[in-house]
Structure 1
Amino acid sequence: MAMGLDQQKSIPWRLMCAGVLMLPLSPLLGGLAIIAVCSWSWWREGRSHLQQPLTWSLALLSLLLLLSALQSEDTSTALLGLANFLPFIAIFIASRSLIQQPQQRQQLAEAIALSSLPVALIGLGQQYLGWHGPIDWGWLISWQLEAGGTPPGRMSSVFGYANPLANFSVIAWTLSVGLTVQAWRTRPAHRPWPRAIWGWGGLVLANSLVLFATSSRNGWAVAIAIALTYAIVLGWRWLIAAVGAMAALILGAAFGPAPLQSPLQQIVPRAIWARLNDDLYPNRPIETLRTSQWQFAWDLSCDRPIWGWGLRHFSQLYQDHSGQWLGHPHNLPLMLLAETGIPATLLLYLSVGWVCYRGVTHLNPLQPLRTQTNLIPLMLLLAFAATTLFHLIDVTLFDARINTLGWLLLAAIDPGGTSPQPQKPRGEDLGVETR
């Protein structure tokens, strides 16, 4: 794993990958490993970190978040909310210097994808074999694992709730698809079906089953968008047509006119179309609808545009307004606007957008996106895009596992001090014809 890496960084990097592998099952063990490596990075290269303009930008963001908390009505509550941001910003800054080489980016993608296997197996057992908990080993492992999932009928596995599991699975699914494509395009001529194809392909299937069982409309939509992106990049017109036809069938079954809807509902599973059009959960109170939450969050941001109302304040404000308790407004940008104000929100998205822009422009311009040189950073970009899109309809960063993976993916996207790879011989092309 450490071949070609700085020998002083090989052991910390192995520990980082081990932490990523353990993270979904044991946030404590995985988190401690990642924190230990990032602390080592700060101790060894702290001066270098502090000289980076991006660090200055994130330091200003941290200051704005702190000032916002101090301006809030319940300062202690808002200060506690900083725990969802400041430690992860520090992890991101440290990780940028650790993830510098193409093989490290590949290993990170592999570690995240592999970590989804036990999560999927436990979830499938929970949903279809009657497995249930609780399994409580103190801080080491704590799984509620309620029979039938949480909410009832929706797989939650070790995450305790369906939506964080869906977010995690769509990240792992995106990376597994990319790794499967890579294994297929680089397979040796004498072994047309190497084990890598079966392994990564199996993870694609497992995470597809998990996404279906979570009944997450958000997860389904993001997965379809990522599948279309892969199809376009790889030039797979058949997949574009297949995904488009599948989406048309599902939307027709859920929202089509009655003469068309009835026959399509015989083809599409009810668990899908009835989830999309809310037939599974009819007559929901208007206060529980996302549109109501978004409107209220927007109104809050208009009332206090500079400093916001303070982190972790939305729930109480919404309950006072509607009588309904909600943990968040199911949209990260609106939550940040309402709770931290326009300056902090704008600075966060500008900083993240700058990293993504650098990642896109760092793709080797001498080779097509589908070549091996570009496929690994591309799949990392898509995985980060997947969790970013997910946060437009939900907010799952309160789960430290999702939060950590998001910042690690962003660190892997950042090219840092690396430079584009020189043009490789034609043999390294993944085998897709250039059109």
Structure 2
Amino acid sequence: MLTTQWAAHTFTFINEKGKWMLWKLTEDNELRLEWNWLQSVAIFMVISNVFMPFAMVLLAVLVVFRYGWQAIATPVNRAYFWLSLWMIFTTVIAFNPATAAGGLANFLPYFLLAAVTSFIIRTPAQFIHFLWLLVFSSMLVSGFGILQAILDRPDWFFPKVIFDSYKIPMGFSADRRIQSFFGHFNETAAYLLMILPIAFHFALGQVRSITKSQRAIATVALALGTAVLILTGSRNAWGLVIIGMIALALYYRQWKFVLGLGIFLFIIAWGVFGQKLGLGGEVVRSLLPEGFVNRLSSTIDPKLVDYASTADRLNAWQFAGSLIAKHPIQGWGLRNFPLVAKAMDFDLRGLPHEHNLFLAIAVGSGIPALLGFVGIIGWTIWVSLKSAIAKNTEGMMFVAAVGAILFLLSGWLDLVLYEPRLSMLLWFLLGGMYGLASYRPHQPDQTDEIK
């Protein structure tokens, strides 16, 4: 059944007026190969951080070869091109050009991926179907994470050959955290931050153009993903997923839910931090799991072991700020941060990078690159949400934007963009949004009312 749905190029839904509408998944049959290729990558993306990015590179080459550069030369994609040139320039003059050249691989290929995705995805039906495939694929991540928790044998390792870069332990870490297919717990959490809002929207029944079985699968994906997100132990992700819940509740106009959630969070915060701030809350604190309380308290309490991660970040951010002040325009070169720190005899306390996406870009390629990066993504999201066709996506345009924004917000406290699968997912969302919002030629004929 699922295979039939993936291969199909049309499906139906009931619009707000109760009329049956037929949406074309592919506007042009000549894109069928590229569309099927893109769907395949969406399904299997999570299983490898080596082979799947390579598959997307091949797809990009195919698109450029068949249709030429002009096919993807939209305003946003041209902006990506100029940002790429600036990053290449800063690489040439970097503190260590060879290392900086490797850093380009974390950005330039994904700018092209966004351009190719925006070229292939042209209709609301495609966009909705593509997002559902991403949710379906997430069950591989969450299911494997649950398996790790059940087995809890950290001395067993999943075959490294599949991932090519790190071992995957089949159990909890020493501090009781789960990482699933990814190399770090925070990477798994960041992946789920982008997926869970989409899965929630599908599971809630907000998308009427999917089948009951697809909705059921999204519900399972939501439940499993939520469980694994908790098991990652990522305080950053825990806070951001709450922000995502509030954003969705406001979108659904569920004011009572927002108020109730606000009161609940206030009580939890009172129980966790009240005693530290002299505001009481001991009764609530006694009702909460000790591990959960200690994990959150360690964010501000120097007496707890996990506070070291906060202190180390503050130390790295201070040094990053000093580097930006010295080279605000050209930066020092992408991924040169630890090399410069070593040359200046600065102790990063074992951190391999800035632990902040925006500082990393500013340190690496200067403030102009940071402004370009934030500006392009911000413009993409703004144009997409304001587009006339956004209302025809049954809310998926907004939900995809929430997922992308949550990931970018996670960049304030960590730097997980170096994981290829996370970058692919981010630019899949951005490229799909912009492709749908910017495509014009055949939009008047995208729907055919069934009499």
How high is the TM-score relative to the length of structure 1?
Answer: 0.87
Matched, 1:336 2:361: yes
In the alignment, structure 1 residue 302 sits paired with structure 2 residue 322: no
Query: In the alignment, residue 201 of structure 1 is paired with which amino acid?
Result: T
Aligned to 1:55: 77
Note the residue ranges of structure 2 that are not aligned, 5 or more in a row. 1-7, 11-23
CA distance in 2, matches of 1:283, 1:117: 30
Partner of 2:21: none
Between 153-162 and 128-137, the greater mean CA deviation after superposition: 128-137
Find the partner of 2:425 among 405, 410, 415: 405
CA deviation after TM superposition for structure 1 residue 283, in Å: 7.1
Partner letter of residue 380 of structure 1?
A: A
Shift of 1:298: 1.3
Mapped contact 1:254–1:277 kept (Cα < 8 A): yes
Q: Deviations over 1:346-391 (max 9, x none)?
A: 11211111111111211558x6xxxx64401111111111211111
Partner of residue 209, structure 1: 227
Contact 1:57 1:351 in 2 (8 A): yes
Structure 1: where are the runs of 5+ without partners? 426-435
Counterparts of 1:262 and 1:253, CA distance in 2: 6
8 Å CA contact 1:119–1:157 kept in 2: the answer is yes
Secondary structure class of the residue paired with 2:329: coil
1:2 aligns with 2:9: yes
Letter in 1 for 2:386: T
1-side partners of 2:315 and 2:158: how far apart?
A: 37
Q: Post-superposition shift, 1:309?
A: 0.9
1:166: how far off?
0.2
Q: Alpha-carbon deviation of 1:82?
A: 0.8
Q: 1:235 aligned to 2:253?
A: yes
Question: CA deviation digits over 1:147-171, x for unaligned, max 9?
Answer: 4445641110110210000001111
Equivalent residue, structure 2, for 1:392: 412
CA RMSD of aligned residues (A): 2.8
- Does 2:299 correspond to 1:276? no
Alignment pair present for 1:146 and 2:164: no
User: In 2, distance between residues paired with 1:54 and 1:187?
Assistant: 29
Structure-2 residue corresponding to 1:431: none
Aligned equivalent of 1:26, options 37, 44, 48: 48
Q: Describe the superposition over 1:71-103 as per-residue Cα deviations: whole angstroms up to 9, x where unpaired.
A: 122111111111111111111111111111111
CA contact (8 A) 1:314 1:339 kept: yes
Q: Indicate the residue corresponding to 2:13 in structure 1.
A: none
Equivalent position of 2:16 in the other structure: none
Query: Residues 349 and 187 of structure 1: is their aligned pair in 2 closer, same or farther, counting only changes over 3 Å?
Result: closer
Whose relative contact order is higher, 1 or 2, with alpha carbons under 8 Å and at least 6 apart? Answer: 2
- The percent identity for this pair of structures is 22
Partners of 1:318 and 1:324 within 8 A in 2: no
Change (3 A) 1:62 1:373: closer
The verdict on how the C-alpha distance between 1:195 and 1:374 changes in structure 2, with shifts beyond 3 A counting, is: closer
SS of 1:260 mapped into structure 2: coil
Preserved CA contact (<8 Å) 1:231 1:237: yes
- Alignment length, in residue pairs? 415
- In structure 2, the partner of 1:357 is 382
Residue in structure 1 matching 2:312, options 289, 294, 303: 289
**Contact 2:316-2:348 within 8 A present in 1 as well:** no
1:13-412 equivalences under 5 Å are: 13-49=35-71, 51-132=73-154, 133-136=156-159, 138-139=161-162, 144-150=167-173, 152-181=175-204, 183=205, 186=208, 194-257=212-275, 260-278=280-298, 281-282=304-305, 284-285=307-308, 288-319=311-342, 320-322=345-347, 324-363=349-388, 373-412=393-432
SS in 2 for 1:134: strand
How far the C-alpha of 1:137 sits from its partner, in A, is 5.8
Q: CA deviation at 1:329?
A: 1.5
SS at match of 1:146: strand
Q: 1: distance between equivalents of 2:198 and 2:190?
A: 13
